[in-house]
Amino acid sequence: MARLFKFALLLTLCLILTSCLVSTAAGIVKTGAKVGYSVVKGTVNGVSWAVGKAKGKINEDRLDGKWKVVGVYVGSFEEFAKAEKRVNIYENSCGSQDEIFEFNTKRGVFKPIHCENEKEDWIQYDYKFGKNPQSSEKENYLKYHAKNYISVIDVSGKRLALQGNLDSTSPFSGMKVYLFEKTR
């Protein structure tokens, strides 16, 4: 009788443990699928990229420094994420110099896209996390010149993604997604 009880107890514990492992594995797969869905992967100038829209407030200090333009895509981030073929329309107009977008977060200012050796005026901005009046989405964004907005899609390590119309000299007007790499 004791052997039968031990066998039944062992069998029950095995079933419970197997059930726990299966539900944990299913949770991991489900979480992985969520992360995979919100991240857009691709290659820009031979460098692999993974861009996902930030789900919470980004620390403004992570924007600080000089950022080199490496990619420009026409449309919103949502259109960029859904597109099967993403066309990088970026062409460097500075010759051998890099086109730079620069932040000084301590002063709350940025320099719009310009050639690295050119002088450009600083523009005052307000960094906010909340409902962007332009896109009506809860996101990280910069407000400057009273009614202009730049959405901060994500900042991760040495990469930055912004949405807006950052380059007034571009032949394509309207919303664009910009990809940057940190220079310093």
Q: Are residues 14 and 78 in the same domain?
A: no
Least confident of 8-22, 64-78, 117-131: 8-22
pLDDT the model gives residue 32: 37
Q: Are residues 30 and 55 in the same domain?
A: no
The domain in which residue 176 lies consists of 42-182
Q: Are residues 129 and 55 in the same domain?
A: yes
- Mean pLDDT value of segment 41-65: 75
Q: Are residues 93 and 156 in the same domain?
A: yes
d(C-alpha 128, C-alpha 3), whole Å: 67
* Token pair in block for residue 142: 């910069």
Least confident of 59-63, 113-117, 118-122: 113-117
Q: Are residues 21 and 56 in the same domain?
A: no
Q: Are residues 124 and 162 in the same domain?
A: yes
What stretches of the chain show up as alpha helix (H) in DSSP? Answer: 2-38, 77-82
Q: Are residues 24 and 86 in the same domain?
A: no
180 CB contacts (<8 Å, ≥6 apart)? 67, 68, 69, 70, 101, 159, 160, 161, 162
Domain with 48 in it: what CATH number?
Answer: 2.40.128
pLDDT bracket for residue 105 (50, 70, 90): very high
Q: Are residues 62 and 137 in the same domain?
A: yes
CB 64 within 8 A of CB 106: yes
Q: For the chain, what is the domain count?
A: 2
Q: Are residues 136 and 172 in the same domain?
A: yes
Tell me which residue of 122, 114, 120 sits closest to 98, measured CA to CA.
Answer: 114
145 CB contacts (<8 Å, ≥6 apart)? 123
Percentage of the chain with pLDDT > 90?
26
Q: Are residues 135 and 108 in the same domain?
A: yes
**pLDDT for residue 40 is more than 90:** no
Q: Are strands 47-52 and 39-44 parallel, antiparallel or unpaired?
A: antiparallel
